[in-house]
Structure 1
Amino acid sequence: MGKQEDFVLRALEERDVRFVRLWFTDVLGFLKSVSVAPAELEGAFSEGIGFDGSAIEGFARVYEADMLAMPDPSTFQILPWRGGGDGPATARMFCDIVMPDGSPSYADPRYVLKRTLSAAADKGFTFYTHPEIEFYLFKNTPNAGDDPVPVDRSGYFDHTAQSRGSDFRREAISMLESMGISVEFSHHEGGPGQQEIDLRYADALSTADNIMTFRTVIREVALGQGIWASFMPKPFTTHPGSGMHTHVSLFEGDTNAFFEAGSEYQLSKTGRSFIAGVLTHASEITCVTNQWVNSYKRLLGGGEAPSYICWGHNNRSAMIRIPMYKPNKGQSTRIELRSIDAACNPYLAFAAILGAGMKGIEEGYELPREAEDDVWSLTERERKALGIRPLPRSLADAIEIAEGSELLPEVLGEHVYDFFLRNKRSEWEDYSRQVSAFERDQMLPVL
C-alpha cells in the first residue's frame, strides 16, 4: 500500500465518507460509476472491483467480459453535492480498467490517452491543455418535441443584475474549486443562456479527468437550481454553437518546447511541426474531436466555429490560432485548437490531437502558408488557390476519411478504433432515416 492509498484511507475516516464512487468512461465518453463502501476500498486498491465489460459500450465481447476497475488514489475528491458538510460524505476516484491478468484494457479511453502521453514522454515531451468549455442553460428539462427555453436573453460578456447565469457560474465555480479544479475565467457567451467556463492549464490526463468531473458538476448544479445544462454542440439553428476551444503546448522539462525567442510569432520549429501535424491529419481526427451528427451543424454554422483547415496568428476564423505573444511570457506560448467541442470523449480527443502533432514533429512536417484573411469571407475559389481545405461537412464524411486513416488506429488502438467507427456509422444511419421538421415544413405544403 503506497502513500497515496494510505492518505485516501485516512481521509475516509476523518471526513466520515460513507460511499466512494469509482468512475470510469466508456468509449463514447459517457461517465460510468460504481459505489463501494469504505471498508471495501483497501481490497479495491490491491485487487480492483470486478465488472462485466461486455455490458459497457465498446469495452469487450461476451467471451472476454471480466474486467477490473482499479482506483487511482491521486484522483480522490469529496463530492460537494453529496453531503461533505456536517453529515456523511461521498467521495469519488477515477479508475484504470485492467484485464484479470493485470494488463491494461485496450478499450479504456483513459489508457488510450496514457499510452499516447507515454509515447510523447519517451521523446522528452509533456502535453498540457487548457479548455474553454461552452454550454447552454435551459429553463426546462428537454422532452421530445419541446423547444428548449434559455434561462436568459443575454449576450457575450453581458453583465445583468440578478442574472440566473452569474448565480449559476458562482455556485458551479465554487464547487469545482472545492474539488481541486482551478477555474481561470467565466462569463456569459454569445447565445441566450450560453455560458463559458475556462479551466486552468494542466497536464492532459488531469485535464481530461477534470472535463469529465466538470460536466457532472455543471449538470448537478443546474438540477439543484431547477434548470438544465447541455453540452450539445448546436442546440439552436440561429444561435452560436458550443465549442471547447483548447489551448495546447508541449514542455521539455520546465521549458516550453513551442517557444523560440526571435522566431516568427516566437514559435519554435517544434511548435510549427506540431501545428503542421494537426492540420495534415485534421480531417482524420475530426470524427473523434467532433463525434456527433450535431457536431457538424456547429462546424458549418459559422460564428466562432471553424469550417476550414488552416492556421493564423490571432485569426479567430482559423482552425488553429496562435495567440498574441506577450513580452517575457515565453512559457505561455501555445496554440489554440478551435474545432473541438465539449461533447467529445476528452481522453480520445486529446490522444488524437497529440498523436497528430507528434507525427508532425517526428516526420518534420512543414507548416503551410498562414491564413491572414477572414477565411469565411473568402470565395471557394480563393480558398482553393490558398490551399485551404474544408473540414468534413458531416459525420458521414468524417467517418469515411477516418476509415482510411493510418494514424487513428495507431493512436486509438485497433479495438477502440473499430468499435468507435462502427458506432458512429450506426448513429449516422439512424440520423439519416429520420424525417426532420425542416423536411415537413418545407415540403408538405408544396409537394
Structure 2
Amino acid sequence: MEPLTEQLRRDRAHRASAVAATLSSRDIDLVAVTWVDTSGIVRMKAVPVERFSHAAAWGVGASPVFDAFLVDDSILSGHVAGGPTGDLRLYPDVERVTPVAALPGWAWAPADRYAQSGAPHPRDPRLLLRRLVAELADDGYELCTAIEFEWTVAHPDPHDPDTFHPATSAPAYGMARVSELAAYLRDVVSKLRDSGVAVEQIHPEYEVGQFELSVAAGDPVHTADNAVLVREVVRAVSGAHGLRATFSPMVVPGVVGNGGHVHLSLWREGMNRMCGGPGPFGIGAEGENFAAGILEHLPALLAVGCPAVASYLRLQPSHWAGVFRCWGLENREAAVRYITGSEGERDHAANIEVKTFDAAANPYLALAGLLAAGRAGLRAGATLPEPVDGDPARLDSATRSARGITRLPTTLADAVAAFATDDVLCAAFGDELADTIGSVRRGEIALFADATPEEITDASRWRY
C-alpha cells in the first residue's frame, strides 16, 4: 500500500467530517476503531465523534506491542514487537464506518495501521489483505468470499463466571431450541441487519447451545470486516439477553467445536470460474487451479486458519471438521468441499468451502493466506487430485496412502512448522509478519505445553 500523503490526509479529513455529521445526527457519540491482533483477538481504541475527522487524517496512537500479544494478554518477550518503545497510528476506514445497532451511541470502523511516518505497517493484516486483493485484480480476477459463524451461548454463573452452562440443550438443529431463544435470535438478526450486515440464514447447530449464521458474500476485505462486526454484535445482543456468547473453537473437551468455514468463488470478466468448465463435476479450469492451490498449501494455512492450541481439539475425524487433505463434491468430511448449488443458479452459487478453519483466526490473515495459496495454484495451473466420496476416516490407511489422502496437522506445532517452510505464504506475508505469526504461535504452544484439554478449553473459552 502507498504511504499517506498530505493530499490523502486532507481528503480523509473532508470525508470524515461528513461522516461525523451524519453520526451526530443519529445520536452517535463514540467510534470504536478496531484491529485484530496476531492471536485473533479484536483490540480497539475509541474516539468521540467530534474527533473522528482528526483521527481519520492523523490516526490514533497505538503501540506495536499488540502484534506480540498472546491469547491470555501476556506479551511475547524477546520479539521485535514485544517491547515498550515505538508507536503506530490507527487510521479508521472512513468508508466502513457503521453505527452498531446493538451498542446504542456507538459506531464502529476497522483500522489500517501505519507508522508515524505514514508508511504502511508491515505487520498489519488488513493492509496485507487489501494488497493481495489488488494484486489479484491486476491479474484480472475477483474473489467472492463469505465466512460462516458458529457460536455457543451460555447462561452465566454469577458465582463462577468462567464455567460453561449451555443456554439450551434442546435437540441439534431443532425448532425447540429456537422456541426457547426466539427473542434472542430475532434480536441477533435484526441488530445485524440494522448494522448493515445481510444475514442469509440462521439455525441451531449440532452441539448444545450452539448456533450458526451465514451472511452475504462479498470481497475479502469486506468479509473480514464483517467477521469482526458480526461477532461484536452477537456478543452485545447476548449480554443484553443475560447470556454469554463464545466463538472459541472448543468450549468443553470432547464435543463438536465452533468452526469458521470459509466459502470462496473466483470470478473473471463477470463470470464465476467455479462452474461451467471441463473439470470434475463441471468445475471451471481456473476455479480448479485456485482450489488446488489451497489444497496444496492447506497444512501451512492451518497456522493462520486454526491458530489456537484449542483449535486442534476441534480437528477430529468424523466431526465434519475436514481433517484430511482431500476434496469432494458436497463432502462435509473433506477439507475442501465443492458446492455446485442447485440447478438454475450454479453460475453464481458454485463455490468451494474450506471446512478446517475456525473463528479463533484473524479473518484478515486467514483470507490473505487462502488468496495467496489459491493465486499460486492459479499461476501454476495446478490440478485437483481424485475427489473423495464419503468419510476418508473410514478408508484404511493403505487406501488413503495410495490415493494421497493425508491427515492435516494434528497440533499447532505441526502447522507452524509447515507454515515456516511454505515459501508461497511466507513471501506473500513478508518476512516481518511471517516471523511474528510463527513467534506468537510458538509462544502460545509454550503457554499450554503442560495443559490438559480441560485446562486449554477453560483458558480459551471466553477469549474469542
Q: CA deviation at 1:5?
A: 2.9
Q: CA deviation at 1:176?
A: 0.8
Q: Give the alignment partner of residue 288 of structure 1, picking from 280, 297, 304.
A: 304
Alignment of 1:16-415 (within 5 A): 16-54=27-65, 57=68, 60=81, 62=83, 65-83=86-104, 89-140=105-156, 147-160=163-176, 163-260=179-276, 264-300=280-316, 302-329=318-345, 330-415=347-432
Q: Distance in 1 between matches of 2:87 and 2:161?
A: 40
Where structure 1 has 5 or more consecutive residues not aligned to the other structure, the ranges are 84-88, 439-447
Deviation readout 1:34-70 (Å, 9 max, x if unpaired): 1212222222222222233235536946486221111
Q: Distance in 1 between matches of 2:442 and 2:157?
A: 29
CA separation of 1:337/1:162 partners in 2, compared to 1, >3 Å: closer, same or farther?
closer
Q: Is this contact kept in 2: 1:184–1:199, CA < 8 A?
A: yes
For 2:53, give the aligned amino acid. E
Counterpart secondary structure, 2:389: coil
For 1:257, give the aligned amino acid. R
Q: Is this contact kept in 2: 1:112–1:413, CA < 8 A?
A: no
For 1:19, give the aligned amino acid. L
Where structure 2 has 5 or more consecutive residues not aligned to the other structure, the ranges are 1-10, 70-79, 456-464
Q: Distance in 1 between matches of 2:422 and 2:192?
A: 38
TM-score by length of 1: 0.91
CA separation of 1:10/1:227 partners in 2, compared to 1, >3 Å: closer, same or farther?
same
Number of equivalent positions: 433
Counterpart secondary structure, 2:24: helix
For 2:402, give the aligned amino acid. A
CA separation of 1:17/1:397 partners in 2, compared to 1, >3 Å: closer, same or farther?
same
Q: CA deviation at 1:6?
A: 4.7
Q: Distance in 2 between matches of 1:356 and 1:210?
A: 22
More moved, 188-197 vs 220-229: 220-229
Counterpart secondary structure, 1:17: coil
Q: CA deviation at 1:123?
A: 0.7
Q: Is this contact kept in 2: 1:154–1:188, CA < 8 A?
A: no
Please say if 1:424 is aligned against 2:441: yes
Deviation readout 1:282-320 (Å, 9 max, x if unpaired): 111111100011111111253211110000011111111
Q: CA deviation at 1:141?
A: 5.3
For 1:226, give the aligned amino acid. G
Q: Distance in 2 between matches of 1:141 and 1:275?
A: 45
For 1:78, give the aligned amino acid. P
Q: CA deviation at 1:201?
A: 0.8
Q: Distance in 2 between matches of 1:142 and 1:131?
A: 33
Q: Is this contact kept in 1: 2:97–2:109, CA < 8 A?
A: yes
More moved, 365-374 vs 146-155: 146-155
Q: Distance in 2 between matches of 1:214 and 1:164?
A: 22
Q: Distance in 2 between matches of 1:113 and 1:64?
A: 27
Q: Is this contact kept in 1: 2:169–2:177, CA < 8 A?
A: no
Q: Is this contact kept in 2: 1:234–1:241, CA < 8 A?
A: yes
Counterpart secondary structure, 1:198: strand
For 2:29, give the aligned amino acid. R
Q: Is this contact kept in 2: 1:265–1:325, CA < 8 A?
A: no
Q: Distance in 2 between matches of 1:245 and 1:13?
A: 37
Deviation readout 1:383-428 (Å, 9 max, x if unpaired): 1121101100111111122222212211222112111111111211
Q: Is this contact kept in 2: 1:27–1:416, CA < 8 A?
A: no
Q: Distance in 1 between matches of 2:391 and 2:67?
A: 44
For 2:228, give the aligned amino acid. M
Q: CA deviation at 1:167?
A: 2.8
For 2:381, give the aligned amino acid. G
Q: CA deviation at 1:81?
A: 2.9
Q: Distance in 1 between matches of 2:431 and 2:414?
A: 20
Counterpart secondary structure, 1:287: helix
Q: Distance in 2 between matches of 1:419 and 1:97?
A: 16
Q: Distance in 2 between matches of 1:308 and 1:435?
A: 25
CA separation of 1:147/1:410 partners in 2, compared to 1, >3 Å: closer, same or farther?
same
Q: CA deviation at 1:433?
A: 2.1
Q: Is this contact kept in 2: 1:310–1:370, CA < 8 A?
A: yes
Q: Which residue of 1 aligns with 2:451?
A: 434
Q: Is this contact kept in 1: 2:400–2:406, CA < 8 A?
A: yes
Q: CA deviation at 1:95?
A: 1.5
| Aligned residues: CA RMSD | 2.3
